[in-house]
Amino acid sequence: MNLTVSADAIKIGPAQLKAFHFDATDCPDLFPPLVALAAYCDGTTTIKGVSRLAHKESDRGITLQEEFAKLGVDILLQEDIMAIQGGPNLSGGIVHSRHDHRIAMACAVAALRASDDVVVEEAHAINKSYPDFYNHLQQLGAFIVR
């Protein structure tokens, strides 16, 4: 939260997101949403536990690196660490879910603040765990074309 106090008013606004460090070794399913968050954080976020991602629906470490690169996000994989270089804006682009529900949802969430349209190919992968995901995003005000 950003708080500004003047003589006659207090202004509260959104805070600038800052990079963070997180050990996701015991919760590897958090990697995709954490990458979507880290993409908008100033600085380099590091997440530990990449080795746990190799045998999911896709090799999520590599998939996150490749798909988020299409949106202008640099992700470095080094040993068991993922380093995400965040910033204020993601570009638009075409990403592919790789038939992985968590990748589809992470890309869609990241797209909410992208500077241009994001197309998620094989977006129906979300049906594995959260069939109403896109409906719920629309209810929150997201513009989604199917």
The catalytic position among 8, 23, 26, 29 is 29
What structural domains and CATH numbers belong to the chain?
17-139 (3.65.10.10)
Give pTM, 2 decimals.
0.88
Measured distance CA(50)–CA(35) in Å, rounded: 12
How is residue 41 annotated by DSSP? Answer: S
Measured distance CA(19)–CA(134) in Å, rounded: 27
Catalytic residue list contains 29: yes
Q: pLDDT truncated to tens, each residue of the chain (146 aa)?
A: 566 777 778 777 667 899 999 999 999 999 999 999 999 999 999 999 999 998 777 789 999 999 999 999 999 999 999 999 998 889 999 999 999 999 999 999 999 999 999 999 999 999 999 999 999 999 998 989 88
Q: Residue 38 half-sphere exposure, CB side, CA atoms within 13 Å? A: 26
Give the residue carrying structure tokens 């959260």: 130
Measured distance CA(10)–CA(122) in Å, rounded: 46
